[in-house]
Amino acid sequence: MDDDRPLHGVRILDLTNVLAGPYCSYHLMLLGAEVVKIERPGDGDLARRLGPEPGLNRAAIGASFLAQNAGKKSVELDLKDATDRATFEALLTGADVLLENFRAGVLSRIGYGWETLHRINPRLVYCAISGFGQTGPMRQAPAYDQIIQGLSGMMSVTGTPETAPLRVGFPVSDTIGGLVAAMTIAAALAGRSRTGKGVCLDVSMLETSLSAMGWAASNFLVSGVPPEPMGDQNATAAPSGTFHAADGPLNIAANRQEQFATLCRLIERPDLLTDRRFADREARKQHRAALNDEINKALRSRPAVEWEHTLSAAGVPAARILTVPQAMELDQLKTRGFLTDLEFPGDPDRTLRVTGNGVLVNGEALRPRTPPPLLGEHNHEFKTTADEVTAP
C-alpha cells in the first residue's frame, strides 16, 4: 500500500507505557500515522522488559513491547532536563497528537498541562488515558488492567457461579481503553480539519470497560436485573454456548427460532421442536440444562470440525474452540494478510511476526513497515532537528 492510508501525514508523540497507550498508537500507526515514542533515557517503555523470554527482556525488546510497537520510532528524552525539554517543545510545535497514560495530573505537574500544550501548539490533539480519568475522587488511584476488570464488575460475570470472579484471559480493559482512545483521536483529527483547533481528550479505562460490557450493564440499568456468571452460556438465548462433539468442544449460537429448527434437523433430533420445554426462546432459557444435555448426546456422534462445517453451511453459527496457536494458523487470517513478518530487532537471523488490526483499505491489509525500534534508535533524527531549533 502506498501512502494513501487514512492518517498519512499525521505525527503522534507517544509518551505511553506498557499496554493501553501503546496499543492505541499501534492502531494509529497502522492507519498511517508517524508515531514517535518519547522514552525515558536508559529505561524506556516498561514493556521492553516484559515477556516470557528473559533474554529479550534484558535486551529491552521484551515480547510485550515487540507485540505493539512495530512501525514506530524511538527517541530518548528526559522531560526534567532543560535541553530535552527544549527538544520536546520543538517536537510539539510540529505534532498533531500528544498521547500519554500517566496517572492523572503527572504531565501537568512537570509543566505540560493542557493550557501550556495548547499555547505551544493550538492545533494539538492531546489525549490522556488513565484508569479513572482526570477528574473525580478516584483520579489519583493507581490502576492496572486487573484492577479495572475488578472494579467494573467484569470479573463478577466471568466464570461460573462456582468459579467467579475470574479475570478475563487477556488484558481486555487495557485493550478497550486503547481502542476507544484511538477512535476518539481519529474523530478529533477529523473535527480539527473543520475547526482548525486542537482538543483535550480524557479517556477513563473504568468507563470504557463498563461501556463495552453491553447487556451485562444495560440489563441492570434498564430492568434492574443484575447479571450473573454463566460460564460459557449466553444469557440471552438457548441453545447458545459451548457444547461437546466427539473429539472436543464446539460453540453453537442458535439464537433465532429458525436456527434452532435447523439445528434440530441436522442433529437428527426433530423431537426437540415439539417438546413444550423448548417451544420458544424463553422456554428454552428456562430449561437450558435439559436442552443442552439432549444436544450434547447428539453431537457426540461426529467430530467438532464436521459439525462446524455442516451447521455453518446451513446458517447455524457454529465453530470449534481453538487454542491461540491454532487460531493463528487459520487460512482466513492468511488470506486477509492479518499477520506480518518483520526483521527481528537486533537479530537478522530471526523473524518477528505481528498482528494487524483486521481492516482492509481498498482491499489491502494495514501492516507495519518497520520493526519495533531499539531504545533511542531515532535519537539522531529528532535530536538533531531540536538542536538546530534551540541553537543560539
Confidence of residue 178 (pLDDT cuts 50, 70, 90): very high
Confidence of residue 387 (pLDDT cuts 50, 70, 90): very low
Same domain, 143 and 270: no
Task: State how many domains the chain has.
Answer: 2
Same domain, 133 and 263: no
Same domain, 306 and 346: no
Average pLDDT, the chain: 95
pLDDT reading at 386 higher than 80: no
Same domain, 133 and 271: no
Q: Which residues contact 134 (CB under 8 A, 6 or more apart)?
A: 104, 105, 128, 202
Strand, coil or helix: what is 14? strand
Of 320, 353, 380, the one marking the end of a domain is: 320
Q: What is the CATH classification number for the domain harbouring 46?
A: 3.40.50.10540
DSSP string, 179-219: HHHHHHHHHHHHHHHHH----EEEEEHHHHHHHHTTHHHHH
Same domain, 121 and 200: yes
pLDDT reading at 389 higher than 90: no
Q: What are phi and psi of 117, to 5 degrees?
A: -60, -40
- pLDDT for 249-272, tens place per residue? 999 999 999 999 999 999 999 999
- pLDDT for 305-364, tens place per residue? 999 999 999 999 999 999 999 999 999 999 999 999 999 998 889 999 999 999 999 999
pLDDT reading at 231 higher than 50: yes
- pLDDT for 193-227, tens place per residue? 999 999 999 999 999 999 999 999 999 999 999 99
Same domain, 315 and 369: no
pLDDT reading at 95 higher than 90: yes
137 lies in some domain: yes
Active-site residue, selected from the candidate residues 174, 202, 347, 349? 174
pLDDT reading at 124 higher than 50: yes
Phi-psi region of 240 (alpha: psi -120 to 50; beta: other; left: phi over 0): beta
pLDDT of residue 392: 35
Q: How many residues does the chain have?
A: 392
Q: What is the CATH classification number for the domain harbouring 303?
A: 3.30.1540.10
Confidence of residue 129 (pLDDT cuts 50, 70, 90): very high
Q: Which residues contact 209 (CB under 8 A, 6 or more apart)?
A: 148, 149, 152, 154, 172, 173, 176, 177
- pLDDT for 25-75, tens place per residue? 999 999 999 999 999 999 999 999 999 999 999 999 999 999 999 999 999
From the list 107, 136, 132, 118, the residue with the least C-alpha distance to 200 is: 118
Confidence of residue 384 (pLDDT cuts 50, 70, 90): low
349 catalytic per annotation: no
> Hey, what's the cell of 374?
531499539
The Cα–Cα gap between 112 and 88 comes to 10
Same domain, 60 and 178: yes
Dihedral, CA of residue 372, residue 376, residue 377 and residue 380, to nearest 10? 150
Domain that holds residue 108: 11-212+337-390
Same domain, 197 and 342: yes
Same domain, 282 and 160: no
